[in-house]
Structure 1
Amino acid sequence: MLVPRLARAVFVPVTHVAFRPTVEGREHIPLNGAVILAANHLSFLDSFIIPLMSPRPVAFLAKQEYFTRRGLRGWIDRTTLTAVGAIGVPRGAHRAAQEALETALRVLKDGQAFGIHPEGSRSRDGRLYRGRTGVAWLALASGAPVVPVAVLGTDRVQPVGARFPRPGRVTVRFGEPLRFSPPTGSAAKARRDATDQIMDAIAALSGQERAAAYNELSGTP
């Protein structure tokens, strides 16, 4: 655990200098026990900014290949992912997606914080897309509260396709926790309803235009 702590000690002040973040609602994140942070997704940078601005470590899933790249870019990826406690997982077919959710569930069962982007992949047009139900599966299976999160400005700091971020201003808003009871009827409907409620809360924080469709360039659930 020493390496992640040291890396985080370096990256937090660097982030404040480079991106001058405005952080709202940190008090909504419980400091102990399992919690899910469900966020919008505008930039590759989102999964780094959220854990660094959170009052406690937050684990996100990351593509395994980010940990195995060579050269300077590979070193930067590994170091940054280590700093934020990212977990490498394979990407691919449905089974890989289910394995990713099971990995996330183990994180929650250990009483840790887990971050997820319900849209799947980054929004290319700035709209908030329909959420995939993996986030609700995790909430219902673990009993963990869900803190909605809105990240703003990261699409200007590191647009889709940009190799590295540039200085700019970002805002991170943490909303009030949402809690969901075990379903008494259809589990599929309960997951869909919970996911829609989570996306409504994210939209209220972000102010993004809504898209009725899924983002078809989806990654992890």
Structure 2
Amino acid sequence: MFYWVMKRIFLGPVLKLLFRPWVKGLDNIPANGPAIIASNHLSFSDSIFMPLMVRRPVVFLAKSEYFTGTGIKGRLTALFFRLTNQLPMDRSGGAASEASLGAGMEVLSHGGLLGIYPEGTRSPDSRLYRGKVGVARLALKAGVPVIPVAMIGTDKVQPIGKRLPNIRRIGMIFGEPLDFSKYRDQAEDRIVQRQVTDEIMFELMRLSGQEYVDEYAAVVKLRLSGQPARPGGAAERPASPAPVQGGQARTGNGGAREQQQDHANQQEAAKRENAAKQEDDGGAAAAV
């Protein structure tokens, strides 16, 4: 009820008057039934303007930090996000992200529209970054179409770090639904998940006209802030253990040291593969 009142009576009309949003391809949103709306992510305000123009309610996966703040400001922020149809998304990977994706599946199973930012965080420089496979996993498991949408100009309205928005016109372009039903039986195949994600990102690049960067935006943000990035999908794997020469087992202290090194290499390789998987799975949520 709150969502409808704010969108139709109070906040919605004011935003339309001030920012005069233009829209193309709105008819590509199905009148009913489940679908994923996958958007580029330029600004915090994307989650306000895009649902404003879609006739049906859109439920977004938003970063969990918005729901766990302390003090009056933190509680008000959490309340606002809950009342505006947004669900917490844990981007740390592993079981936490699985639970968050499960919440997205529930929205789709009830015939809803689920909004996702495949980049997982706002672009640091208005370019389009590598998408995470969470959007593909949801689309393949739920068997629903993906509607790509390009947000235009919202980075100029509210750049990262700016609290008060600039009053200027923004736009959005909804592309034709992408059907991945032919991959339904391969929903757990990571190569297929990456292929589907890349196809979605290609459409977002085509619609938005953004320059594409084949790197995770979160990694770039860490680098810009001077923090070390955790090992990701672009990292090289350590060399494989060397084979035994001439079919003879390695013996003595030298052999023991080689076996220890082999074991260390295998552990490091497993660690990097797991980190790469977490980086890829670490959410498709709205994020700072």
* Residues 1:33 and 2:51 aligned together: no
* 1:202 aligns to 2:193 (yes or no): no
Q: Deviations over 1:125-177 (max 9, x none)?
A: 11111111111101000011000000011111110011232311111110000
2:4 maps to amino acid:
R
Contact map agreement 1:137 1:191 (CA 8 A) in 2: yes
Q: Using the alignment, how far apart are the partners of 1:163 and 1:73 within structure 2?
A: 16
Residue 142 of structure 1 aligns with an amino acid whose one-letter code is A
| Aligned partners of 1:8 and 1:84 also within 8 Å | no
Aligned to 1:192: 194
Aligned to 1:109: 109
Map 1:136-151 to 2 at 5 A.
Answer: 136-151=136-151
Q: Residue 58 of structure 2: SS of its match in structure 1?
A: coil
Question: What is the letter of the counterpart of residue 122 of structure 2?
Answer: R
Secondary structure, counterpart of 1:59 in structure 2: strand
- Aligned residue identity for 2:132: R
Distance verdict in 2 for CA 1:199–1:101, change over 3 Å:
same
Superposed displacement of residue 77, structure 1: 6.5
Indicate the residue corresponding to 1:18 in structure 2. 18
Q: 1:120 to 1:77 in 2, by over 3 A?
A: same
Structure 2 spans left out of the alignment, 5+ residues: 222-278
Question: 1: distance between equivalents of 2:189 and 2:93?
Answer: 23
Deviations 1:46-77 (A, max 9, x none): 11211111121110012344346544685467
Q: Distance in 2 between matches of 1:85 and 1:144?
A: 20
Aligned to 1:7: 6
The correspondence of residues 14-163 of structure 1 with structure 2, limited to 5 A, is 14-67=14-67, 69=69, 70-71=71-72, 75=76, 78-79=79-80, 81-82=81-82, 84-90=84-90, 92-163=92-163
Q: Would you say the 8 A contact 1:121–1:220 is kept in 2?
A: no
* Residues 12-33 of structure 1: per-residue CA shift (max 9 Å, x gap): 1122122111111110000101
Residue of structure 2 in register with 1:213 after alignment: 215
Partner residue of 1:169? Answer: 169
SS at 1:60 equivalent: strand
For these two proteins, the number of residue pairs brought into alignment is 219
Instruction: State the Cα distance separating 1:78 from its structure 2 match.
Output: 3.4
Structure with greater Cα Rg: 2
Tell me, yes or no, if the aligned pair for 1:131 and 1:195 is still in contact at 8 Å. yes
Indicate the percent of aligned positions where both proteins have the same amino acid.
43
RMSD (Å), alpha carbons: 2.2
Compared with structure 1, are the counterparts of its residues 31 and 74 closer, same or farther at alpha carbon in structure 2 (3 Å cutoff)? same
Letter in 2 for 1:145: P
**1:129–1:210 contact (8 Å) kept in structure 2:** yes
Counterpart AA for 2:79:
R
Residue 189 of structure 1 deviates from its aligned partner by 1.5
- Higher mean Cα deviation, 87-96 or 14-23? 87-96
Which structure 1 segments of 5+ residues have no match?
none
Q: 1:97: how far off? A: 1.6
Q: Cα gap change, 1:134/1:4 in structure 2, threshold over 3 Å: closer, same or farther? A: same
Q: Does the residue aligned with 2:37 lie in a helix, a strand or coil?
A: strand
Deviates more, 1:94-103 or 1:29-38: 94-103
Change (3 A) 1:157 1:74: farther
> For residues 82 and 46 of structure 2, what CA distance do their matches in structure 1 show?
15
Kept in 1, the 8 Å contact 2:89–2:283? The answer is no
Q: Which amino acid aligns with 2:128?
A: L
In terms of fraction of residues, the more helix-rich structure is 2
SS in 2 for 1:13: helix
- Mapped partners of 1:112, 1:169: distance in 2: 29
Distance 2:101 2:164 in 1: 29
